[in-house]
Amino acid sequence: MKSIMRSLSAILIVSIVLLIMINRLNAAQGFSGDNTLTVYNWGDYIDEELITLFEEETGITIVYETFDSNEAMMTKIQQGGTTYDVAVPSEYMVQKMVEEDLLIELDHSKLPNLSNIDERFMDLPFDPNNQYSIPYFWGTVGIIFNTNLLPEGMELTGWHDLWDPALENQILLIDGAREIIGMGLNSLGYSLNDTNPEHLYQALEKLEELTPNVRAIVGDENKMLMANNEATIAIGWSGDAADIMGENEAIDYLVPEEGSNLWFDNFVIPKTARNIDGAHQFINFMLDAEIAAQNTEYVSYSTPNKEALQFMPEEMVEDERFYPDPELTDRLEVYENLGQRNLAFYNELFLQFKMYRK
Ligand code: SPD
């Protein structure tokens, strides 16, 4: 009898361990079950307390995975074998995903909190009527700088200042092909959506000339490096600047006078989603004014949720560097979906630039 009991306990333990392993494996590969929801978001882009709150309120378990570029996110979804229920591409990638038939049409009747979004961020050209995407955060690309470390007498106004030899080994670049090739293009007076190969090669050459000033090409580590006074300048997203400012008072941010990028990150539901209802619930939860305010305070990026603003600190909402008025944003460019070949060309040139540095 004892040995039967022992065998039964052993079988039970092995089964439990197997179940846990299968569950973990599924979670790691982005497989959603009935009561799970797999969310695929940029790194450092949510207050994780809200994930727990959503789980408690709905009984749905969230499997949360992160990416660090639109291209990485797209490749993973295209390759298949995952079942992300919610993803967060930027505008040009939304367009590309729609074109490649990777997204489901959203059911706005399940998103009553959508009315909290400022009209100004709705119905944008990359997704008319918000058929496939819902605004999450927005911002600009610009120059994050440390006022204590800037070379004496230097007045930063635009991209052209970055080539100053006084900035040798002092600049961090965000690891994004569109952002950095775009900076090369903008500094030559070309559009961020330029696809003329001659202009693109000129931009590459211009970037190669910047090499002596480039300390590193980095992702989210830019925030830690700038907060710790380890570089004078970082080229990156406005929200990162706002975040670093919370850690280091010497940090400031400007949008270059030659022009720059205005971007929008958005919730979408990929076609392979298993929990479409849960995905709508999650998006609607994140659109709630108080939830969006808490998330925005935590993440530091600019929210398109106009009802959230009343729950946020005044100094945050009134900071024109992060909530610039339309006069500034109107002169910025939004990335367009340039098509497979041109996007591949941008990526190839960016890779060449990275190799040149080595
Ligand atoms: N750490 C979160 C970064 C999210 C930035 N998204 C900006 C994309 C601009 N194309």
- Given this model, what pLDDT does residue 280 score? 98
- Given this model, what pLDDT does residue 10 score? 54
Ligand 1 centroid distance, CA of 302 (Å)? 11
Residue 356 neighbours by CB under 8 Å, 6+ apart:
208, 211
Point out the ligand 1 atom lying closest to the alpha carbon of residue 176.
10
What six digits make up the tokens of 151? 């070379």
pLDDT tens for each residue of 99-143: 999 999 999 999 999 999 999 999 999 999 999 999 999 999 999
- Which pLDDT band holds residue 88 (cuts at 50, 70, 90)? very high
Identify the residue whose C-alpha is closest to ligand 1 atom 8: 90
Point out the ligand 1 atom lying closest to the alpha carbon of residue 91.
10
- Which pLDDT band holds residue 358 (cuts at 50, 70, 90)? low
- Given this model, what pLDDT does residue 357 score? 72
Second-level CATH architecture of 32-132+264-325: 3-Layer(aba) Sandwich (3.40)
226 conformational bin, left if phi > 0, alpha if psi -120 to 50, beta if neither = alpha
- Residues annotated within a binding site for spermidine: 92
- Given this model, what pLDDT does residue 332 score? 97
* CATH class of the domain at 139-261+332-357: alpha beta
Ligand 1 centroid distance, CA of 61 (Å)? 25
- Range(s) of the chain covered by CATH 3.40.190.10: 32-132+264-325, 139-261+332-357
Sign of CA dihedral 164, 187, 97, 50: positive
- Given this model, what pLDDT does residue 273 score? 97
CB atoms within 10 A of CB 326: 8
Mutate to test the pocket of ligand 1, among 45, 174, 350 (most ligand atoms within 8 A of CB): 45
Nearest-10 Cα torsion for 261, 267, 271, 276: 180
In the predicted model, what is the mean pLDDT of the chain?
92
Ligand 1 centroid distance, CA of 60 (Å)? 26
CB distance 145 to 245 below 8 Å: no
User: Exposure of 320 by Cβ count < 10 A (0-12 exposed, 13-18 middle, 19+ buried)?
Assistant: exposed
Ligand 1 centroid distance, CA of 237 (Å)? 7
pLDDT tens for each residue of 13-58: 555 444 444 444 444 444 455 699 999 999 999 999 999 999 999 9
- Given this model, what pLDDT does residue 57 score? 98
Mutate to test the pocket of ligand 1, among 40, 144, 193, 265 (most ligand atoms within 8 A of CB): 265
144/28: higher pLDDT: 144
Ligand 1 centroid distance, CA of 240 (Å)? 9
- Given this model, what pLDDT does residue 272 score? 85
Question: Ligand 1 pocket by C-beta < 6 Å: which residues?
Answer: 42-45, 90, 220, 237, 263, 265
The CA distance from 300 to 298, in Å, is: 6
Ligand 1 centroid distance, CA of 206 (Å)? 24
Section 310-319 average pLDDT: 97
Point out the ligand 1 atom lying closest to the alpha carbon of residue 240.
1
The CA distance from 244 to 60, in Å, is: 33
Point out the ligand 1 atom lying closest to the alpha carbon of residue 90.
10
Rounded to 5 degrees, φ, ψ at 30 are 75, 35
Section 249-265 average pLDDT: 97
- Given this model, what pLDDT does residue 13 score? 54
The CA distance from 119 to 147, in Å, is: 36
Section 329-336 average pLDDT: 95
The CA distance from 93 to 73, in Å, is: 9
Collect contacts of 343-350 with beta carbons under 8 A, ≥24 apart: 343/71, 343/96, 345/195, 345/197, 345/200, 346/177, 346/178, 346/181, 346/200, 347/71, 347/177, 349/177, 349/181, 349/200, 349/201, 349/203, 349/204, 350/177, 350/180, 350/181
Identify the residue whose C-alpha is closest to ligand 1 atom 3: 42
Is residue 338 pLDDT above 50, yes or no?
yes
- Given this model, what pLDDT does residue 242 score? 98
- Which pLDDT band holds residue 1 (cuts at 50, 70, 90)? very low
Is residue 350 pLDDT above 50, yes or no?
yes
9/273: higher pLDDT: 273
- Given this model, what pLDDT does residue 102 score? 96
Q: What share of the chain in percent tops pLDDT 90?
A: 88
- Given this model, what pLDDT does residue 11 score? 53
Is residue 2 pLDDT above 60, yes or no?
no
Residue 344 neighbours by CB under 8 Å, 6+ apart:
none
The predicted model scores a pTM of 0.89
> Minimum mean pLDDT among 9-23, 32-46, 279-293, 327-341: which range?
9-23
- Residues annotated within a binding site: 92
